[in-house]
């Protein structure tokens, strides 16, 4: 795992935006276009704002880009401000030149959920897989809505949210009683099939989850620890989120050496 410890959440945003832009530029002349995996929640909001700004400055285009979101609540209509469909439209899609027919947020309304999960996996496959998956992380180390105990071999399916997640996400609803109890989420095995993964985390509230995911054993009790199995995972985290890492100095030294190597190449 590459662990990049940065001085501020703004630096995390810039790092993530650079990674996305590198992929978009690399794929610019490829008819397939880039395939991005996207997350919702508070953490990627800065990234989406920065991508919109770079698009407005003419630095990038999303014209051929396909996207797949990690998850969507069950029982929330796409038009609802609490849905992840709405979140993506408001916070990214309506501000850029993306073809909405190439954007995919799991469908959870008026559909058979099992069929919807299977069709979502099928669409990822048809798109040629996800090039870069953006992840946030829950305070309990969930990724997507793969809550504690999620099988490391899991695929897109319905998951019941934990009390902790319900409490954390209550801020997006009028009250905790309105937070849906279940969501359709990419599975851990689905996430591990992405070409590369970029996990973002800010703040001391994520420090324990980061420590357990990076330095603890691989276990279904810490869903993000499964990322240790993937050969191309980068964590871009601010100092408070890195504050419980026993090996923080090592990760900082590794990044200094990487910078030196890239300057001399």
CB atoms within 10 A of CB 187: 21
CB of 201 to ligand F6R, least distance (A): 8
Question: Residue 21 belongs to what H/E stretch?
Answer: helix 9-26
Q: Choose which of 17, 48, 64, 71 interacts with ligand F6R (CB under 6 A).
A: 71
Closest distance to ligand F6R from the beta carbon of 41 (Å) = 3
User: Quick check: 194 and 127 in contact, CB under 8 A?
Assistant: no
Q: Is 134 a binder of ligand F6R (CB under 6 A)?
A: no
- Report the candidate in 246, 250, 233 with the shortest Cα–Cα distance to residue 207: 246
Select the residue interacting with ligand F6R from 33, 46, 106, 144 (CB under 6 A): 144
Quick check: 238 binds ligand F6R (CB under 6 A)? no
Binds ligand F6R by CB under 6 A, chosen from 33, 46, 136, 180? 136
Query: Could you say whether residue 159 binds ligand F6R (CB under 6 A)?
Result: no
Rounded Cα distance between 70 and 64, Å, is 20
Residues 6+ apart with CB under 8 A from 152: 188, 189, 192, 218, 220, 226, 229
# residues contacting ligand F6R (CB under 6 A): 13
Q: Which of residues 26-65 bind ligand F6R (CB under 6 A)?
A: 39-43
Residue of the chain from 6, 20, 70, 233 that contacts ligand F6R (CB under 6 A)? 70
């Amino acid at each position: 795992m590459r662990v990049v410890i940065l001085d501020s959440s703004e630096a995390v945003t810039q790092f993530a935006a650079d990674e996305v832009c590198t992929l978009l530029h690399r794929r610019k002349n490829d008819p397939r276009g880039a395939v991005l995996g996207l997350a919702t929640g508070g953490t990627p909001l800065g990234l989406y704002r920065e991508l919109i700004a770079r698009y407005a400055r003419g630095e990038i285009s999303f014209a051929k880009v396909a996207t797949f979101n990690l998850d969507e609540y069950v029982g929330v209509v796409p038009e609802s401000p609490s849905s992840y469909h709405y979140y993506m439209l408001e916070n990214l899609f309506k501000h850029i030149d993306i073809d909405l027919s190439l954007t995919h947020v799991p469908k959870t309304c008026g559909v058979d959920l099992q069929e919807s999960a299977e069709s979502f996996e099928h669409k990822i496959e048809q798109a040629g897989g996800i090039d870069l998956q953006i992840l946030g992380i829950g305070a309990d180390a969930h990724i997507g809505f793969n809550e504690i105990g999620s099988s490391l071999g899991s695929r897109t399916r319905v998951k019941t949210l934990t009390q902790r997640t319900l409490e954390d996400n209550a801020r997006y609803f009028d009250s905790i009683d309105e937070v849906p109890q279940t969501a359709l989420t990419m599975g851990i095995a689905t996430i591990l099939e992405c070409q590369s993964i970029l996990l973002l985390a800010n703040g001391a509230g994520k420090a324990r989850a980061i420590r357990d995911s990076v330095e603890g054993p691989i276990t279904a009790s810490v869903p993000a620890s499964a990322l240790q199995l993937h050969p191309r995972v980068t964590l871009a985290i601010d100092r408070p989120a890195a504050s419980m890492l026993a090996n923080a100095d090592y990760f900082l030294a590794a990044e200094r050496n990487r910078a030196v190597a890239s300057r001399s190449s």
